[in-house]
Amino acid sequence: MTAVMPTTDVDVRIPLRGHLRHTGALIRRNLLWIRQDPESMFDALFMPVVFTLLFVYVFGGSIGQALGGGQGQYVQYVIPGMIAMMSMTLSQGVGTGFSQDFNSGVMDRFRTLPIGRGSVLFAKIAVELGRMLFATVILMVVAVLVGFHITHWTGLFATVALSALFASSIMWVFLTLGVMLKSAQSVQGVGFLVLFPLQFGSSIFAPTKSMPGWLRHFTDYNPLSTLADAARGLMVGGPVAHDVWVTVAWSVAITAVMGPVAIHKFRTKN
């Protein structure tokens, strides 16, 4: 029988320092869990390698010619886009992990303790951001090996920061799914339905000029397109201001809407 969270507002009685201490302790708990289950890092380790080799060596020649060059031209195009892709793909893990914790009873135990409810969610996001940064390092190592040239190092760090901001906003969506759906498989299924059209209906893997008009309208409003275009401008040169600000606006809007929803669903789930 599932435990019901007490109705008292625990968060109100806990000062900011307490919230930070609880978040730090939960981050440590999640990191220890990863150390005990290193297979949970396989997606962050192998996904950048597989996707880089797949798109560069399978599609690089033909799409590179369309870009006016060859495989080398495509490498410069696709690598910044893949940083954007990973920011969303790895975000799904926070929802599946959250759902597993609910089904195993861990969350019931957390919710009986005098800790800030938001601390549980923030700790999950912090650890997933760490996984994303680890995957980004792997991606850049593989990218350099296949011929990617980093034109602006400061742009690379700015791209990572922008991707982390966007990823943290998307994680609130998956946290909400992790609370609402009954199983990790359900979270994965719904996540796939969300991720697949957003990733391939964007400028991540190929330019959008040859797409049908209706699809180009979709890509124009797709935040993954603006994130990928901003990453290219920051890392290899080009206009960045519009895409950066649009990506930031999307990130703030998603967080402002889904953050309170996720916390409310977590507090009231029974």
Average pLDDT over residues 101-119: 74
CA dist., res. 179 & res. 269, Å (int): 7
What's the confidence (pLDDT) of residue 254? 95
Ranges of beta strands (E only) in 100-228 are: none
CA dist., res. 51 & res. 164, Å (int): 19
Comparing CA positions, the residue from 139, 141, 173, 160 lying closest to residue 250 is 173
Alpha carbon of residue 231 to chain centroid:
15
Query: What is this structure's pTM?
Result: 0.85
Reduced to 3 states, what is the DSSP secondary structure of residue 106? Answer: helix
pLDDT tens digits for range 148-176: 988 888 999 999 999 999 999 999 999 99
Q: Which of 93-102, 139-148, 225-234 has the lowest mean pLDDT?
A: 93-102
For the record, the structure tokens of 33 come out as 């869990």
Average pLDDT over residues 203-207: 87
Q: Is 265:5 a contact under the CB 8 Å cutoff?
A: no
pLDDT tens digits for range 1-28: 344 444 445 555 666 676 778 888 888 8
φ/ψ region of 42 (left if φ > 0, alpha if ψ in -120 to 50, else beta) reads alpha
CA dist., res. 22 & res. 114, Å (int): 10
Task: Let me know how long the chain is.
Answer: 270
Give me the percent of the chain exceeding a pLDDT of 70: 92
pLDDT tens digits for range 29-58: 888 877 887 777 787 788 888 888 988 888
Indicate the DSSP class of residue 56.
I
Burial of 43 (0-12, 13-18, 19+ CB in 10 A): middle
